[in-house]
Amino acid sequence: MKDLQLSGSKQYTVGEAAAMDIYEKISTLSQKMEEESVRIRRDLHKHPETAFLEMRTTVIIEKHLKELGYEVLTGKAVCKEGERLGVPSPEELSLHASEVLGQGISEEDLTEEIREGYTGVIGILRCGEGPVTALRFDIDALGMNEASDMEHRPFREGFSSVNRGMMHGCGHDGHAAIGLGVAKLLMEIKEELRGTVKLIFQPGEEGGHGAVPIVAKGHLDDVDYFIGNHIAPTNSLDDGDVTPGTYGSLANTKYDVWFRGEASHAGGYPEKGRNALVSASHAVLGLYSIPRHSQGQTRVNVGTLHAGTGRNVIPDTAKLEIEVRGEDTEINDYMSGQAESICKGAAMMTGCSCEMKMVGRGETQHSDEELWGRIGNMLAEHCPDLRVSSIPNARNWGSEDISVMMNRVQSHGGLAAYMRTMTDMASPQHTVRFDFDEKVLVNGIRVFASIVYDLNGRQYENTYIQRHDTDHG
Ligand SMILES: [Zn+2]
The answer to whether 224 and 415 have CB atoms below 8 angstroms apart is: yes
What distance in angstroms lies between residue 354's CA and the mean position of ligand 1's atoms? Answer: 31
Ligand 1 geometric centre to CA of 402 (Å): 10
Phi and psi of 163, rounded to 5°?
-100, 110
Q: Higher model confidence: residue 133 or residue 363?
A: 133
Q: What are the residue ranges spanned by the domains of the chain? A: 3-249+364-471, 251-361
pLDDT value at position 343?
Answer: 98
Q: Is the pLDDT of residue 466 over 50?
A: no
The whole-number average pLDDT for the span 334-356 is 97
Q: What is the pLDDT of residue 7?
A: 43
pLDDT tens-digit series, residues 239-298: 889 999 998 889 999 999 999 999 999 999 999 999 999 999 999 999 999 999 999 999
Distance 320 CA to ligand 1 centre (A): 23
Judge whether 301 and 287 are in contact, CB under 8 Å: no
Cβ atoms 228, 418 nearer than 8 A: yes
- Ligand 1 centroid to residue 205 C-alpha, Å: 7
pLDDT digits 0-9 by tens, 199-220? 999 999 998 999 999 999 999 9
C-alpha 423 – ligand 1 centre gap (Å): 14
Determine the pLDDT at residue 249: 84
How many whole angstroms from 219 Cα to the centroid of ligand 1? 21
Q: Tell how far the Cα of 27 is from the centroid of ligand 1, in angstroms.
A: 26
pLDDT per residue over 412-451, tens digit each? Answer: 999 999 999 999 999 999 999 999 999 999 999 999 999 9
Q: Are 56 and 103 in contact (CB under 8 A)?
A: yes
CATH fold match for the domains 3-249+364-471 and 251-361? no
Report the separation in Å between the CA atom of 267 and the middle of ligand 1, taken as the mean of its atom positions.
49
- Which of 441, 392, 401 has the alpha carbon at shortest distance from 120? 401
Tell me the CA–centroid distance for residue 34 and ligand 1, in Å: 22
pLDDT score for 142: 96
- Compute, in angstroms, the gap from residue 179 CA to the centroid of ligand 1: 15
- The pLDDT tens digits of the residues spanning 307-322 come to 999 999 999 999 999 9
Ligand 1 mean position, distance from CA 440 (Å): 15
CATH of 251-361, one of 3.40.50.1820, 3.30.70.360, 2.170.150.70, 2.60.40.10: 3.30.70.360
**Cβ–Cβ under 8 Å, residues 402 and 388:** no
Q: Ligand 1 centre from 142 Cα, in Å?
A: 9
For every residue of 282-346, DSSP letters joined together read: HHHHHHTTPPPBTTB-EEEEEEEEEE-S-TTB---EEEEEEEEEESSHHHHHHHHHHHHHHHHHH
Other C-beta atoms closer than 10 Å to the C-beta of 333 total: 14
- Ligand 1 mean position to 170 CA, how many Å? 5
User: Ligand 1 centre from 254 Cα, in Å?
Assistant: 16
Q: How many angstroms separate the alpha carbon of residue 171 from the centre of ligand 1?
A: 6
To the nearest whole number, what is the mean pLDDT of the chain?
92
In the reported structure, the alpha carbon of residue 74 is separated from the centroid of ligand 1 by a whole-number distance in angstroms of 22
**Per-residue pLDDT, 395:** 79
Give residues with Cβ within 8 angstroms of 265, minimum separation 6: 273, 312, 313, 314
How do residues 110-132 score in pLDDT, each as one tens digit? Answer: 999 999 999 999 999 999 999 99
Q: How far is the CA of 429 from the centre of ligand 1 (A)?
A: 8
Q: Is the pLDDT of residue 49 over 90?
A: yes
Whether 34 has a pLDDT exceeding 90, the answer reads: yes
DSSP 87: P
Interval between CA 206 and ligand 1 midpoint (Å): 7
Q: How far is the CA of 203 from the centre of ligand 1 (A)?
A: 11
The rounded Å distance from CA 469 to ligand 1 centre is 32
Does domain 3-249+364-471 fall under CATH 3.40.630.10? My reply is yes
Give the chain's length: 473
Ligand 1: centre distance to CA 418 (Å): 12
List, in sequence order, every residue forming a beta bridge with 196; answer none if it has no partner. Answer: 126, 132
pLDDT at position 157 over 90: yes
Identify the residue with better confidence: 236 or 421.
Answer: 421
% pLDDT > 70, the chain: 93
Cβ-based neighbour number of residue 473 at 10 Å: 8
